[in-house]
Structure 1
Amino acid sequence: MQMSFVHLHLHTEFSLIDGMIKVNQLAEKAAELAMPAMAVTEQSQTFSAVKFYRAMQSHGIKPIIGSEIKVIDNRLNESFNLILLSQHFEGYQNLSRLISKSYIEGQRRGIPFVNYDWLKDNNEGLIAVDCADNGSFTNSILQQDESKIEKKCENWLSLFPDRYYFELQRIGLKGQNNHISNAIKYSEKFDIPVVASNNARFLDEDDFEAHEARVCIYQGYTLNDTRRPKQYTAQQYIRSSEEMQELFSDIPEAIENTMKIAQRCNIEFVLGENFLPNFKVNENETQDDRLIADAKAGLARIIEDDDKITNENSTDYSHRLDIEIDVITKMGFSGYFLIVADFIRWAKENGIPVGPGRGSGAGSLVAYALDITELDPLEYDLLFERFLNPERVSLPDFDIDFCMDRRDEVIDYVAMKYGRDHVSQIITYGTMAAKAVIRDVGRVLGFPYGFVDQIAKLIPFDIGMTLDKAMEEEKELRQRYNSEEDVKSLMDLAKKLEGLSRNAGRHAGGLVIAPKPLSDYMPLYCEEGSQATVTQFDMGDVESIGLVKFDFLGLRTLTIIDWALRDVNRLKKQNNEKEINIRKIPLDDPETYALIQRMDTTAVFQLESDGMKKLVSRLKPDVFDDLIALVALFRPGPLQSGMVDDFVDRKHGRARVQYMHDDLEFALKPTYGVILYQEQVMQIAQVLSGYSLGAADLLRRAMGKKKPEEMAKQRQIFTEGAVSRGVDEKQATMIFDLMEKFAGYGFNKSHSAAYALVAYQTAWLKAHYPAAFMAAVLSSDMDNTDKVVMLFEETRRMQIEVEPPSVNESFYSFTVINEKSIQYGLGAIKGVGAAAIDNIIAERKENGPFENLFDLCKRIDLRKANKRVLDALIKSGAMDSLGAGRSTLNENLDKATSLAEQHNKDLDSGQNDMFGLDAPASSSEEEESSSVYDIIKDWDDKQRVMYEKETLGFYLSGHPINRYKQELSRITRKLYGLKTGDVKVAGYIMSIRKSGMREEFDVKIDDNTSRKVVVVKSDDYEKYRNYLIKDHLIIVHGRARNDDYYEGGIKILADSIFTIDDVRKPGNPFNLTSSLKLTLHESQMSNGLINNIKTILHKYHHDVSNVVVKYVKPDAAGLVPFGKEWNVRISDDLIDELMNILDINQIEIEYNPKVKNNNSLI
């Protein structure tokens, strides 16, 4: 290395608080400046280490891995910053251990600290640089305690002999000159070298404002806020060697020492080598031995149990197994298969539902034999080489689905088995995306919310959208950028921050298992007070350093299947019937396919969306292969390319099935000659051109990447191979062109087959055990009110009764009563927690049903089920069995809880001891006499159902719209089954949400048949603001449009909005006249009733709506119109008074079109 300068103190964008240097741009800059080496020193972590290492090496620059840590010295009661640089891999491991420990044991208020004492055991191979800003030495200088300074210097030198430096900075911060003069002084006295740094935080000098914005986003300040801390300067960029040499021309050794440190730091990551966790086997047994034995034993069981496998074809299975075992053992992956098989076996033995497979792993017969997957790969032509290619060495990757609720138990088992310090979940980083960064930057610039919101909404809501792309696509955005200074400032600053890492999180399913403690490979990260660690490297970097990643994914559907089977098998056990094993159900059940073809697939896995239902209606699957195809077809590529149309037409005989070549029939017959799966591309290459399946997998990958040079090479290989096998060259070229075209749409058949199986299982349960299935589905979505409402609609449609919640009948979840009824789950009541429910159920189980509210309050733990919980139970109807109306129960709640508390105090004080010696004789009588309800009038229907909505999220025992049902039926259509076109609908407002994407409001309405979203433009929202109130009834005239983004696949674009009073008025928007029709029976005719009706009509007299009486006798009925003097203005108050003397069914409001007479409306 020639004499130069090396940056040794630098934060990249992965220092989420104050760094904004992108790693690849840094490597390019370093190469441009001809820097020989560079260090990265993120704050208290090494998130960027592997990315930095690879980027620097790719540009011929020596990477140095370090970190700026925070140290706490309890002896001196002080904390300070210290830079640690790794001299070699052992030094890096010590750094990793220190950082891991700082997160797991050393966090204070969310900040990780390294204890000074830990440095004694973990400093080997580390160079320490005392930070110029807030370092140990700096703090002592400020205290002006010379003896303390000298003692510290001696301590640090003993801890880091020949490895301790003073950092010098000249970046324009106050006090730096004083620090430098003192550092030089003590450097000479104790022979401590000084080293220059620029404490870099951003790439170029003109990035300073963007950096300050980045800091403000994190801290919550605006840039012009005079109170915000200003810790950085415009000088903290990547200075060149020449700039640094000039800056420290008076202290040249500070520059030279950066080179000396760089020469001492020689870390090498081991990349490309795999470190599999150690799976223990018996003595005198290898992992290969165990794999072979377990796989062959498993296959023997499969052959014995499966009637489809005969003596003739069993040799195919044995041969396939031998081929796979040979590949697995030669590639060194026996341990991987054994590890996966072990934790799946443990999960199944402990009743934790596991998916049948996901991804290409379902193509492995060894996996099937080890019970890792549940699909026979030979039966469905699933290819092992799609999963593990012997011609392309890469780690196998099983994606495993577990029950969502119990996935963590399996992770815990793995941690226990391999050691908690060997197992961790994997970190993931959120970035500053285009739309979000506009909002963030707009806030720190202090721009008004409305202005920023306008610009953000001009950014299209597309995956992968960037600000540059938005400028290209959106004309208005370009115009405003070019004409408005504020828009230009906002966009230019946002572009500098776009794409930066913003926050760290936990990967949804990734789990790493290492053969040694993970801190030997990388530091760990966790939240304060938590032991749930994540790696400090993301998934790509974890794999780069050779560690094996396992995907533990949570799938809610597995939980649903498990819960449904529990209910089914509980009832079967009671009836001494054989229990259901979901793995043994026939895959050719007519009732299941009939249900699918009817599109009764609400709540059926993968088949419940409106778009999928439309595809189902066209395809009409009747065999399992069709279901596999269905999952693969329902994607944008096939839907937009015409492939779906071709597939459907071929299946139903409307188009000819062609195989392109006779030898391809075996591969393409299940898909009617259409190339649908990636595996079919591989099979065509194998059969027609002589590719090995491994080479065919490489061809498939090449087609997916569409690299011209590679495709030209593959085209030649394919064509020459096909011609050598007797295929016409022109035909071979045509087939290759088709393969290349469809490879872009091709789907992984193994994944499709596995998910088709789960879809079939849920459809089978719905077809044969609908109540159990719907109870399980409702239980799984208890927290999602909108989903519960939709599922209730489906349950009603299936003619299954849902009994209301009950403290004497319900359990936590929805449960099956019988084949046609479900008991509502207490866990679905808002504000009622699991602890309260568990306490209620346990007490009921032990001592029988609750007799009344007083009995319940005495018997349960009121600390767990407090008054707020009891109030929710009353309002939901869960206490209807306690001998009083809901209003009475609510009125007596304070009394009941007070009596219960006194009762419990008496028990605690011994008044009611076992002999009753200390108890007053009358205490039990007094208590009993007090436990009597104070009866009050019950809530009316509207109040009752409103409380149900408050506690359940929807109306259960009725609906406030019911009183308007007859009236609305004359002028509106039901939301359920709503078709597209011009519509008039009505419903109660459930929620109002401003759309994040558009200048619109989404108003969700409910009419007791369904819920739909009404889209209201901002201008119209202001116009109808007084109508758009939650829990109010509105009538909407608008246009219903198909839109799969919305629930039910329909949205309603509002043209006008009304209230029921608007429609009842003369001159109403629908041009209708209204009349009040009362039905009176001869048996009711008494002077009292007639007089009461007259009194009410007189009270609401108005020349608006005429009154008609339908008089009903046993043998006849007739209409009697009242005269104009009885006309009324129809209102809710009028109806309420009439309902006090008549049934609601006797009161009707009719609407008729106005007719023209003499050019006037009457």
Structure 2
Amino acid sequence: MIVESVLLKQTQVPVQALDCLTGSGFRQGEAGSLADVDVDYASNRRQEVKEYLECRYNESGKQRVFSAGTYSTMKLKAVIKDVCRVYKVPVSYVNYITAIFEDDNMTWTDLFKLAATNKKVNKFVQDYPQVIEDIRGLMGQPRSASVHASAIIVIPNVKDDEEVECFDYTPIKKVDDILVSELDGYSIDETGLLKNDCLGIKELAKIQSVIDECNKVYNAGITFERLVRGGLDDEKTYRILSKGYTQNVFQFSSAGMTKFLMDMKPCCINDLIAANALYRPATLESGSTQKYLDCKRGDVAPVYLWGTYNALHSTYGVLVGQEQLAQMAREVGGFSLGEGINLVKYISKKKADKIHAMKDKFMSGAANNGCPKEDAVLIWEMIELGCKYLFNFSHATAYAITSYVGAWLKANYPTAFYTIALQWADDKELPLIMSEMEECSSAKVVPPDINTSAEKFFTDYRTNEIFWSLGKIKMLGTKAVQYIINERAKGGPFKSVENFIHRIFKYKLKKYEYWDDADNEQEAVRVPVNARHVKNLILAGCFDKVSNISAVVERYSILDKAAAELGFKILAEDYPDHLINQHYFWSMQQIEVCGIGQIDYKRIFDNSYCHHQFKGKLSYSTVRKALDKDSEGKKITLCATVTEMEEISYKDKKSGEKKHICKLHLQQNNDLIKLVCWNDFYVENKAELRDIKDKIIIVSAVVKYNDYSGGNSLNTYKTSRLFTLNQQDNGSTQK
């Protein structure tokens, strides 16, 4: 209460409350159980919350805090495999049949529907009728029990004037010293207990890490609360979201949501709240999302039915939140707030009889309030349709504020934001983050340096250089990295690769014959760094600065020195003469061992064996240029690496024939684009496309705008050409 009073004194904003008595509106079912309480915490601090609850409520030696249990149930594939094992049906045959089931949530009836159209499933049903009969009673039964990921229950201290513990409400078991109910989270409601979903959210931990970094480096004095109370109106924040710079912003980083924000051009927190509530499959399908965009952009004037302006004016006449529905039911139909909440529940759960009773009450209340009958009918239709997909504003608001804080940190402290983003990112996210960072900030990622880099991404804020993580280098584990960092801290910077080897291997100056020579157990324990680690550090560029090399091709000389110190020679087959002077070769080696490296794709294209096929016909383009809006409709030639290939089948609408297309994910350093290979092109080049992942290609394609991603992609056309390159091709053709 003290905290609440202080906050009220700070804000001094009067709040008008209307009809706060919800009655039994929030109570569910015959037992009248309360709604769940959902609170999100930083993922790295959730355990602290649980420990606090136990310390706070497990007083006087009583056990009042426990976790809810959860059960996994028997699904079709698992049931069939288990029952077939009893009847000794051949395992290979069972695996073959269950592989046909695309949906593991199929019911017993669905199995027979599939058997009616699939001869192999039909034969299995006919051959093993007893198996089919026995699985019927097992499907949906509990298979295994575990601990609910978030639900924590705190019981009252007293029940019926007697002191109680958790054992008086539900059967309890102990799992790894944690008290867990035998009842699952859904069944806890029936005991009359309140379920608290304490969720650990990684994004909150990331945001707090960025805030801590800003305060440490810039002495910014930022807190999450201050940002929320700061007006939520920072122009730079909304500008970067409108431009599509949404990577690593909570809830906003997907391709579809990014396009939605670019179309919306948000300018206030209400827009972000609406975005969280509107960008969902059901609202997209209903047309509400597009209607909101049209009204916000001024393309269409919002229309308000009788009495709906107060509820819908903030969303341009579009029904977005459950609270709006309850408000319309109150102001138009004369409902209480509790009745409005019940209305939402009845429609969402499709309780036809109760909905019908509510409709009569609504129409009667609307007539008494003076609402025209035709408007009342349309409003009721809006309510019935909306209840199927509406999101609650309280949830959307919490998410929108979290998104705003993340975007604010990106807009105002980009180097700190991207440092933390890179530290938390998985390998697939790294190129997208680095590509965006180059476009909207002065920060840049540089190769690892043996005297600067740390286990995680380390930033020099004086130059805005983010040094690549030593932990991201292939085969270097935590122990090896920590050993190197400890030696650097103890003995000072390494002066050369020879100095590095002498200091790191001082306990085992063993002479190797090759990179992959094994170490005995005693040596490995004492020194967790081996020859392969040294090679990968060199290829990653860790010794470029200390060795004063000016080009990546000079890394061969560093390798040669390291090999001499370690006692073996470099094999010519690993580093052929025609490749060791090629920039491309060493960049590819760097990318292979650590994921970072700059390849000169234009140079590869110019010196490729197929260059003459495109000369004078199409202009060469980079991925970044192809992504530019002005490039739409142009036919280009592109050289890039294929990072992913996916085949998609579809049914031709005209002929009914089954056809295939192929999507290639192309990468030029940190820039990414998709190439759609249409059926004719895919059939013609299927042999090459089948094994194309991780290869460099040269392809001609047309740039087209993609409505889903909100950006350009590449498409093959009738005379498109595709050539696959390998290291031998590039080495032999480059000058």
After TM superposition, the score normalised by the length of structure 2 is 0.74
**1:775 CA displacement:** 1.7
Mark the CA change 1:483 to 1:725 in structure 2 (over 3 Å): closer, same or farther: closer
Q: Deviations over 1:556-592 (max 9, x none)?
A: 222222222223222322xxx6556433443122222
Residue 573 of structure 2 aligns with which residue?
Answer: none
Whole-Å separation in 2 of the counterparts to 1:1002 and 1:487: 38
Residue 460 of structure 2 aligns with which residue?
Answer: 817
Whole-Å separation in 1 of the counterparts to 2:648 and 2:498: 48
Whole-Å separation in 2 of the counterparts to 1:684 and 1:392: 28
Matches within 5 A, 1:524-923: 524=173, 526=175, 530-531=176-177, 534-573=180-219, 579=222, 581-661=226-306, 663-781=307-425, 784-798=426-440, 800-818=443-461, 820-845=464-489, 847-853=491-497, 855-856=499-500, 863=526, 865-867=528-530, 869-883=533-547, 886-887=555-556, 890=559
2:668 is equivalent to residue 1007 of structure 1: yes
Whole-Å separation in 2 of the counterparts to 1:457 and 1:482: 9
Residue 3 of structure 2 aligns with which residue?
Answer: 298
Mark the CA change 1:702 to 1:484 in structure 2 (over 3 Å): closer, same or farther: closer
Mark the CA change 1:492 to 1:810 in structure 2 (over 3 Å): closer, same or farther: farther
Residue 479 of structure 1 aligns with which residue?
Answer: 117
What secondary structure does 1:402 align onto?
Answer: strand
Counterpart residue identity of residue 202, structure 2: R
Residue 161 of structure 2 aligns with which residue?
Answer: none
Whole-Å separation in 1 of the counterparts to 2:266 and 2:298: 14
Counterpart residue identity of residue 304, structure 1: K
**1:762 CA displacement:** 1.8
Task: Flag the structure with more relative contact order, 1 or 2, with Cα contacts below 8 A and sequence separation at least 6.
Answer: 2
Contact 2:504 2:529 in 1 (8 A): no
What secondary structure does 1:648 align onto?
Answer: helix
Contact 2:605 2:639 in 1 (8 A): no
Whole-Å separation in 2 of the counterparts to 1:549 and 1:428: 13
Whole-Å separation in 1 of the counterparts to 2:484 and 2:420: 22
Residue 583 of structure 2 aligns with which residue?
Answer: 941
Contact 1:1042 1:1049 in 2 (8 A): yes
Counterpart residue identity of residue 769, structure 1: Y
Mark the CA change 1:408 to 1:886 in structure 2 (over 3 Å): closer, same or farther: farther
2:641 is equivalent to residue 988 of structure 1: yes
Contact 2:42 2:201 in 1 (8 A): yes
Contact 1:1040 1:1050 in 2 (8 A): yes
Whole-Å separation in 1 of the counterparts to 2:416 and 2:257: 24
Contact 2:605 2:698 in 1 (8 A): no
Contact 1:826 1:832 in 2 (8 A): yes
Contact 2:697 2:725 in 1 (8 A): no
Whole-Å separation in 2 of the counterparts to 1:890 and 1:738: 71
Residue 42 of structure 2 aligns with which residue?
Answer: 403
Contact 1:567 1:815 in 2 (8 A): no
Gaps of 5+ in 2: 158-163, 506-524, 549-553, 568-576, 651-658
**1:522 CA displacement:** 2.6
2:105 is equivalent to residue 429 of structure 1: no
Residue 509 of structure 2 aligns with which residue?
Answer: none
Q: Deviations over 1:152-187 (max 9, x none)?
A: xxxxxxxxxxxxxxxxxxxxxxxxxxxxxxxxxxxx
Mark the CA change 1:724 to 1:864 in structure 2 (over 3 Å): closer, same or farther: farther
Matches within 5 A, 1:459-498: 459=102, 465-466=106-107, 468-469=109-110, 472=113, 478-481=116-119, 485-486=123-124, 489=127, 493=131, 496=136, 498=139
Mark the CA change 1:982 to 1:1049 in structure 2 (over 3 Å): closer, same or farther: closer
**1:832 CA displacement:** 3.1
Mark the CA change 1:627 to 1:388 in structure 2 (over 3 Å): closer, same or farther: farther
2:148 is equivalent to residue 507 of structure 1: yes
The root-mean-square deviation of aligned C-alpha atoms, in Å, is: 4.8
Mark the CA change 1:805 to 1:491 in structure 2 (over 3 Å): closer, same or farther: farther
Q: Deviations over 1:165-221 (max 9, x none)?
A: xxxxxxxxxxxxxxxxxxxxxxxxxxxxxxxxxxxxxxxxxxxxxxxxxxxxxxxxx
Mark the CA change 1:435 to 1:956 in structure 2 (over 3 Å): closer, same or farther: farther
Of residues 646-655 and 1037-1046 in structure 1, the stretch that sits farther from structure 2 once superposed is 1037-1046
**1:431 CA displacement:** 3.8
Whole-Å separation in 2 of the counterparts to 1:439 and 1:1025: 38
**1:987 CA displacement:** 3.5
Contact 2:673 2:713 in 1 (8 A): no
Matches within 5 A, 1:1048-1059: 1058-1059=722-723
Counterpart residue identity of residue 1010, structure 1: L
Whole-Å separation in 2 of the counterparts to 1:487 and 1:946: 54
Whole-Å separation in 2 of the counterparts to 1:962 and 1:508: 52
Mark the CA change 1:992 to 1:643 in structure 2 (over 3 Å): closer, same or farther: closer
Counterpart residue identity of residue 399, structure 1: D
What secondary structure does 1:1059 align onto?
Answer: strand
Residue 909 of structure 1 aligns with which residue?
Answer: none
Identity across the alignment (%): 26
Whole-Å separation in 1 of the counterparts to 2:363 and 2:273: 31
Whole-Å separation in 1 of the counterparts to 2:374 and 2:53: 56
Contact 1:1012 1:1048 in 2 (8 A): no
Contact 2:582 2:731 in 1 (8 A): no
Query: How many residues in Structure 1 have an aligned counterpart in Structure 2?
Result: 656
Decide which of 936, 951, 954 is 2:593's aligned counterpart: 951
- Structure having the higher Rg: 1
Whole-Å separation in 2 of the counterparts to 1:535 and 1:939: 67
**1:689 CA displacement:** 3.3
Whole-Å separation in 2 of the counterparts to 1:534 and 1:882: 57
Q: Deviations over 1:856-878 (max 9, x none)?
A: 46666974742255544333223
Counterpart residue identity of residue 1024, structure 1: A
**1:743 CA displacement:** 2.1
Contact 1:388 1:394 in 2 (8 A): yes
Contact 2:599 2:668 in 1 (8 A): no
What secondary structure does 2:40 align onto?
Answer: strand
Residue 1158 of structure 1 aligns with which residue?
Answer: none
What secondary structure does 2:183 align onto?
Answer: strand
Of residues 1041-1050 and 885-894 in structure 1, the stretch that sits farther from structure 2 once superposed is 1041-1050
Q: Deviations over 1:915-948 (max 9, x none)?
A: xxxxxxxxxxxxxxxxxxxxx9978534433333
Counterpart residue identity of residue 717, structure 1: K
Mark the CA change 1:305 to 1:767 in structure 2 (over 3 Å): closer, same or farther: same
Gaps of 5+ in 1: 1-293, 332-384, 899-935, 1063-1129, 1140-1162
What secondary structure does 2:245 align onto?
Answer: coil
Mark the CA change 1:938 to 1:752 in structure 2 (over 3 Å): closer, same or farther: same
What secondary structure does 2:277 align onto?
Answer: helix
Q: Deviations over 1:332-383 (max 9, x none)?
A: xxxxxxxxxxxxxxxxxxxxxxxxxxxxxxxxxxxxxxxxxxxxxxxxxxxx
Contact 2:665 2:673 in 1 (8 A): yes
**1:787 CA displacement:** 1.0
Contact 1:457 1:996 in 2 (8 A): no
Counterpart residue identity of residue 732, structure 1: A
Mark the CA change 1:542 to 1:1048 in structure 2 (over 3 Å): closer, same or farther: farther
Mark the CA change 1:1058 to 1:654 in structure 2 (over 3 Å): closer, same or farther: closer
**1:671 CA displacement:** 0.9
What secondary structure does 1:399 align onto?
Answer: strand
